[in-house]
């Protein structure tokens, strides 16, 4: 095999691995509502995240 063939096979393997990992992450992801504790509401969690992002903007 020449260099180009090895390079293309390596690139293909890397792309398949990256796609597989992204698919796994999407399949196993939890919705945001499942991450909120019963004592807190989704609106409060969203407000906290928004406030923390607003502080970093400046």
Identify the domain containing residue 38 by its residue range: 3-56
More confident residue, 25 or 1: 25
Question: Residue 42 contacts by C-beta under 8 Å, 6 or more apart in sequence?
Answer: 32, 33, 36
Is 53 a residue whose pLDDT tops 60?
Answer: yes
Give this prediction's pTM.
Answer: 0.51
- Spatial contact of 53 and 44, defined as CB atoms under 8 Å apart: no
Domains held by the chain: number: 1
Predicted pLDDT at 55: 59
Is 20 a residue whose pLDDT tops 80?
Answer: yes
Residue 35 and residue 46: Cα distance in Å, rounded?
Answer: 12
Is 31 a residue whose pLDDT tops 90?
Answer: no
Question: Residue 32 contacts by C-beta under 8 Å, 6 or more apart in sequence?
Answer: 42, 45
More confident residue, 13 or 29: 13
């Amino acid at each position: 095999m020449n260099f180009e063939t090895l390079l293309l096979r390596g690139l293909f393997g890397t792309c398949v691995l990256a796609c597989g990992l992204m698919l796994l992450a999407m399949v196993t992801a939890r919705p945001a509502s499942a991450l909120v504790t019963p004592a807190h509401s989704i609106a409060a969690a969203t407000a906290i995240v928004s406030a923390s992002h607003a502080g970093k903007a400046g």
